Structure 1
Amino acid sequence: MEAVKKFIAQHPDAKMVYGRGWSWGILTGEDLIKGPRKEYLDAVTREIPIVLRAHDGHTLWVNSKALEINGVTIDTKVPKGGVIERDQSRGELWGTLKEWAMWLIALPEYSLEQYITAMTSFQKKMHRFGITSILCMASLPFVTLFKACDEMEKANQLQLRVRGAMTVNAREDLVSQLAHIRELRDQYQSPLLQVITAKFFTDGVIEGCTSYLLEPYSIKAGKGADYYGDFLWEMENLKNAFYAVNQCGMQIHVHSTGDGSTRKVLDALEYAYHKTTSRDYRNTITHLQLVDQKDVLRFKELNVVASVQPYWQFKGPNWWDNVDYQFLGERANLEFPLGTFFREGIIVASSSDYPATAVPNPFLAIDVGVTRNIDNGTLHGVEDITDMDDERYLLNKSERATVEQMIKSFTINGAYTLFMECDIGSIEVGKIADLVVIDRNLFVENPINIDKTKVVMTFFDGKLVYKAD
């Protein structure tokens, strides 16, 4: 709220305030279950709309003006797969919209020039972290992002290998959506920029109580005694969509956090796997917060990549106890089965899900993957640990990975997922010289100090693109 006040004071002519980054972990009571109330933002201003997206991207917190100008009322029909939270005691809207209901609120539109400016800044940030290749997710309103990358490449300013993914949703016609993705695939076919992937969302997030689970949420989640969350697709539609995407020669990338969602996704992928002739689509499921043990081996059987975000895989202060454990109970101790995936021979590719991870530094994630403990206490507002077995933030140390496994997950496994393992991802004769030089040997470093690793130099195609001061 203070940040919004400051922004309005600095921009008195602003017609709207948009931001992102609030955390469920600081909330209590009904706010933890539904999200923060609109009245908090109304106290800042009711004159212009305020729209603030949660750091996870799955909930909008808005003031009354934002609801008013977008025509959202207590009688608004809730879109399938969405949630409009209500204050039942007063018969009013609460001020938060989750999942597909978020699209009832207009978000800012940006020009091509603004996208180029943003992408140029983002590229510099990635180079500081030693990153030279990304999978870039987009939906229809943000397709200008690919045009920005294209313009940068034409001007010899693009120094990232961008593989694009376009969202396919259950609410719109599949045929027209796939036709649009194919158009983008045909339009962007350069070595640096390609659209190769269809992105699906099959559930939401634990903190929003929108993940789809095999067993009900805890009663403390405030959703009743028999609430499992929502699966966002009809199974027959999902099966047909997966088959159609693979038949077009494109990769499938699925957001799935709940164990119930992941089981259904694997069922649909199995359908497509046995119906298509090729087996090399490298279909991917990402996040994988809860996975039933019986489903783990299916990843290998179906050649499915496990895309993980190790940054999150410890008991976050002001988060795990307040959110995950409260909503899941003892199941929260089984979250993020990283070591299990590696032990079973599944291809694991690590990523940040930026901007859900505000600081997408791979060495923070390698630290957490190896220790299953907090990476950098200062970043989380607490003191740092001196022992990787410190119990305060340790999450199921049986799921620890090795340093080698974590490095591969950020290099050759990521390259494989993007169909680029023949060109990048390892240092070999004949490959492109995308290289990073760091200030220490991770194989001999105390694992709790891996987060302190500094990138000294980053090379893109043999060209120095970053050098530390």
Structure 2
Amino acid sequence: MSRQQAIGKLLLGLVFGVIGLSTHASDDWVLFGGHIYTAEQTIEQPEAVVVRDGRITHVGSLHEAKRLASSDAEWIDTTGKMVMPGFHDAHIHTRLGGRSLTGCDVAMAPDLEQLTEMLRGCFSSTDEPWLIAEGLNLGFFGQSGPELPWMNAINSDKPMLLRASDGHSVSINSVAMRLANITVDTETPEAGVIERDALGRPTGTLRESAMALADRVVPRETLEDRLHMASVAVKEMNRLGITSAFDAWVGSEDIDVYRSLDDQGMLTVRIRAALAYGRGDLFTLDSPDDYERLLANRAELSTERFKLAAVKLFIDGVLEGETAALVSPYLSDEGGSGHLTYSQAYLNTTVTELASQGVQVYTHAVGDGGVRSILDAFEAAEKALGETDLRHQISHLQLIHPDDYHRFAELGVVANFQALWALPDEWIMNLNLPVVGMDRVQRMYPIASMVEAGATIVGGSDWNISSLNPLEAIEVALLRQDWIANDELTKAEVEQLDTLNRSERVDLDTMLRAYTSTGAWAMHQDQETGTLSPGKRADLIVLSHDLFSTEPQSISTVEVEKTFLDGKLVYQKP
């Protein structure tokens, strides 16, 4: 049996297990009665949206909707609710998100004690040879991360691997350490960190490229595993109103799964994907030859709902472990300014080469030094090639030097924020503050400053690193505080809650556009999605409440009631 036949057989079983969401014959709809948010400038507030054959045919008066609607159209009364374009998540990892949903995920543990109990509970009910968990909160530990005594106390019989929720470190117990042959004599890989004690002995946490020392002995996921994880992840996106998403780091295995899901009619979300850069030894998913082949064949590998059109570059690491590149040094005893993955000359050449091939460059940069380095590379490419419309992106942007704010607009670079991180949580206050100082903490995630500087901003979750729910991120962007702790507070009480730099708060319309019209533009699909406009695809959602009539601290409690893709109902709240 060929690889494609195997994929088809696996998916066929999944297809037969899906219960149709709607028995409505024509898939023609009229939505009326609620607040219709179009994500574009309108003179009058629309009263109705008409959908026919997967496209929006009318946004406007109810009278005209009655005239244009087909005789068998279903009329959906959304009184008290809100109709809007589907969310565009500008940064996800579909397979990793599915892995969290189908495995042991501890991201919601509120403290170390409950984290420990959650892990013990997960591991007591599994017969798997390895104990693996996702979403470890490093904010519960010191600068060196989890250490062997704590991990061995959880389990000392089987190999255990805990993936940190930032995606840039893993922690392993002594059994796993022995299997991976990590000892005091193990050399630290280039651009990696092996946390050690005063005698040089590894203490259990591996960062960046050092993670590969453990990953190489962990059992590989099977084809069936990957298909199952992806299908579960897509359903979760549907549930949260996400109709388009940018998968920020894919390789050949991910591409096979996306193509197969779309072939079987199971890819009920539009995916634009960034191929993992494949030259060198860091952050790669395929061999250099396979990378070059995939890049050359990107158009042929794309499908109706899956587009392979970008390349992902990691410019630096993260502040935890001091691998993010900074303009000014860290304040820790070690000092230093972090690490750039590539020399400036190499990065300039790489970005220019990709841009010359019409490839959108999608990047990870956390520190202000990393951000400046990739901006310099984009500037070098523009000087070499002239202006392009590739809509390059820099994702994360925890720190941007103020001198660089204006360069995003000047270079046409998209600022891709994970707004859910813009609050004074244990990561920032316990791990980041001691090594960068309060002045830089107050500059973190400068969304309002970037808007004021004329930058194009989009919103992404970085799921499974953090919550997939766009409404949670939108609330944090508006308030810059804990979106769970403020649920039951009055407006006056909300203002007393710890906040990360109030001056960086933005308004609701700014964030809704970041997740709709601007998100679609950044994905090169603004002619098809992102606004409720006649002629565009009917990718839209119905929310349980009107966000503009909801207190900001309650936005995260609003639910998606219906999700439509191409006019077909792909999710309906039970």
Residue 80 of structure 1 contacts residue 171 of structure 1 at CA under 8 Å; is this kept in 2?
no
- Residue number among 405, 408, 412 corresponding to 1:296 in the alignment: 405
Residue number in structure 2 paired with 1:10? 125
Q: Is the Cα contact below 8 Å between 1:4 and 1:17 reproduced in 2?
A: no
Q: Pick from 176, 188, 207 the counterpart of residue 301 of structure 2.
A: 188
Please tell me whether Structure 1 or Structure 2 has the larger radius of gyration of its CA atoms. 2
1:55-454, aligned counterparts within 5 Å?
55-89=165-199, 91-105=200-214, 106=216, 107-140=218-251, 143-168=252-277, 171-172=280-281, 176=289, 178-183=291-296, 185-219=298-332, 223-224=333-334, 226-277=335-386, 279-316=388-425, 318-330=426-438, 331-357=440-466, 359-377=467-485, 384=489, 386-387=491-492, 390-454=495-559
The answer (yes or no) to whether the contact 1:170–1:232 under 8 Å persists in 2 is no
Q: CA deviation at 1:282?
A: 0.7
* 61-70 or 387-396, which deviates more: 387-396
Query: CA separation in 1, counterparts of 2:155 and 2:512?
Result: 48
Query: For the residues of structure 1 that align with 2:356 and 2:368, how far apart are their CA atoms?
Result: 27
> Displacement, 1:299?
0.6
Show the counterpart of 2:562.
457
Deviation per CA, 1:413-435: give whole Å up to 9, x if none: 11111111110000111100000
3-state secondary structure, aligned to 2:143: helix
The amino acid that maps onto 1:280 is: D
The answer as to whether partners of 1:411 and 1:425 remain within 8 angstroms in 2 is yes
Cα-to-partner distance string for 1:108-160 (whole Å, 9 max, x where unaligned): 422222222112211111111110111113354xx322212211211111111
Q: C-alpha displacement at 1:41, in angstroms?
A: 2.0
Aligned equivalents of 1:332, 1:465: Cα separation in 2: 41
Distance change in 2, residues 1:171/1:67 (3 Å): farther
2-structure distance, mates of 1:156, 1:177 = 27
Partner secondary structure for residue 377 of structure 1? coil
Helix, strand or coil at the partner of 2:320: helix
- CA change 1:139–1:463 in 2 (3 A) is closer
1:109 counterpart SS class: coil
Q: For residue 169 of structure 1, report the CA deviation from its aligned partner.
A: 5.9
- C-alpha contact (below 8 Å) 2:250/2:273 kept by paired residues: no
Unaligned runs of 5+ in 1: none
Contact preservation (8 Å) 2:486, 2:553: no
- CA–CA distance in structure 2, aligned partners of residues 384 and 325 of structure 1: 27
Shift in Å, 1:71: 2.6
Task: Write the distance in 2 (CA, Å) between the matches of 1:388 and 1:175.
Answer: 55
CA gap of 1:211–1:169, structure 2 versus 1, over 3 A, is farther
CA contact (8 A) 1:18 1:108 kept: no
Q: Which moved more, 1:115-124 or 1:280-289?
A: 115-124
The change in CA–CA distance for 1:170 and 1:87 in structure 2 (over 3 A counts) is: farther
SS of residue in 2 equivalent to 1:165: strand
Counterparts of 2:444 and 2:301 in 1: how far apart (Å)? 38
- Aligned partner of 1:48 in structure 2 is 158
Structure with the larger RCO, 1 or 2 (CA within 8 Å, 6+ apart): 2
Aligned amino acid, residue 469 of structure 2: N
Q: Distance in 1 between matches of 2:176 and 2:296?
A: 34
CA distance in 1, matches of 2:301, 2:364: 24
Partner of 2:148: 38
C-alpha distance 464-388 of structure 1, shift in aligned 2 (>3 A) = farther
Secondary structure in structure 2 of the residue aligned to 1:206: coil
Partners of 1:388 and 1:447 within 8 A in 2: no
Encode CA deviations 1:21-65: one digit per residue, 9 max, x unaligned.
Answer: 1112111xxxx1111112322233444321111001101101122
Distance in 2 between residues matched to 1:184 and 1:385, nearest whole Å:
55
CA distance in 2, matches of 1:249, 1:334: 34
Q: Give 1:180 shift.
A: 3.6
Instruction: Tell me the CA shift for residue 294 of structure 1.
Output: 0.7
Other-structure match for 1:20:
134
Q: Secondary structure at the match of 2:389?
A: coil
Q: Is the 8 A contact 2:275 2:295 kept in 1?
A: no
In 1: Cα distance, 2:511 partner to 2:278 partner: 32
- Describe the shift of the 1:372–1:215 C-alpha distance in structure 2 as closer, same or farther (beyond 3 A): same
Query: How far apart, in 2, do the equivalents of 1:41 and 1:22 lie?
Result: 12
**CA–CA distance in structure 2, aligned partners of residues 26 and 169 of structure 1:** 34
Number of aligned positions between the proteins: 452
Q: How far apart, in 2, do the equivalents of 1:269 and 1:385 lie?
A: 45
1:468 partner letter: K
Q: What is the rounded CA distance, in whole Å, between the counterparts of 1:86 and 1:385 in structure 2?
A: 47
State the shift of 1:370 in Å: 1.5
C-alpha contact 1:58 1:208 (8 A) present in aligned 2 = no
For 1:186 and 1:424, how far apart are their aligned partners in 2? 20
Deviation for aligned residue 1:184: 5.2
User: In the alignment, is the contact (CA less than 8 A) between 1:59 and 1:99 conserved in 2?
Assistant: yes
State the percentage of identical aligned residues.
30
Decide whether the 8 Å contact of 1:374 with 1:385 is kept in 2.
no
The residue identity in structure 1 corresponding to 2:372 is R
- CA–CA distance in 1 between the matches of 2:257 and 2:232? 13
Give a deviation string over 1:219-249, Cα, whole Å, max 9, x none.
Answer: 3xxx43x322112211111111111211221
Are 1:51 and 1:62, in contact at CA under 8 Å, matched by a contact in 2? yes
Provide the residue aligned with 2:24 in structure 1.
none
Cα root mean square deviation, aligned: 2.1
Asked whether the equivalents of residues 259 and 302 of structure 2 are also in contact (C-alpha less than 8 Å), the reply is no
Structure 1-normalised TM-score?
Answer: 0.91
TM-score, scaled relative to structure 2:
0.75
> Contact 1:439–1:453 at 8 Å: present in 2 too?
yes
Is there any run of 5+ residues in structure 2 with no aligned partner, and where? 1-115
In the alignment, is the contact (CA less than 8 A) between 2:327 and 2:337 conserved in 1?
yes
The letter of the residue matching 1:24 is L
